[in-house]
Amino acid sequence: QLVESGGGSVQAGGSMTLSCTASAFKYNLGCMGWFRQPPGKEREGVAAIYTGSDYTYYAVSVKGRFTISRDNAKNTVYLQMNSLSPEDTAMYYCAAAPGLCGGRWSRASEFFSWGQGTQVTVS
């Protein structure tokens, strides 16, 4: 299972941190990603991290504002979001995929295990 937490409402310019805790099996698959789906739009990759190293990946729209990190002892991945704007409003999902993230990191079809999502609203 993947369980997200930390969503909510924040004013533009504010910060928020999302957490995703996975079962050991899911976490050790390798690639943990954050995706988001704004209302009426398709799901898009936000960031990803390989749990076996410090390789990280970011969408252009969030690079420099968002930081993905991991705590292997807790099987948890975090998404620190700064300088939030209304365009960041979306349902945020955590997902797991086997192996290295690589060039596929932003493709939702590559991830087979998903959390239930947590809503982030920026006004």
Report the largest interatomic distance among the alpha carbons of the chain, rounded to a whole angstrom.
Answer: 37
Position 24 scores a pLDDT of 84
User: Over pLDDT 90: what percentage of the chain?
Assistant: 85
Task: List pLDDT tens digits, range 76-97.
Answer: 999 999 999 999 999 999 999 9
Q: CB of 104 within 8 A of CB of 83?
A: no
Identity (one letter) of the amino acid at 7?
Answer: G
* Local mean pLDDT, 10-residue blocks, the chain (123 residues): 95 98 85 96 96 92 97 95 98 94 94 95 98
Position 28 scores a pLDDT of 81
Instruction: Give the phi and the psi of residue 87 in degrees, each rounded to 5.
Output: -65, -15
Return the DSSP state at 26.
H
Which residues on adjacent β-strands are paired with residue 96? 32, 113
Give the whole-angstrom CA distance, residue 78 versus residue 32.
Answer: 10
Distances from the Cα of 105 to the Cαs of 66, 85, 99, 110, in angstroms? 16, 24, 11, 8
Q: CB of 59 within 8 A of CB of 67?
A: no
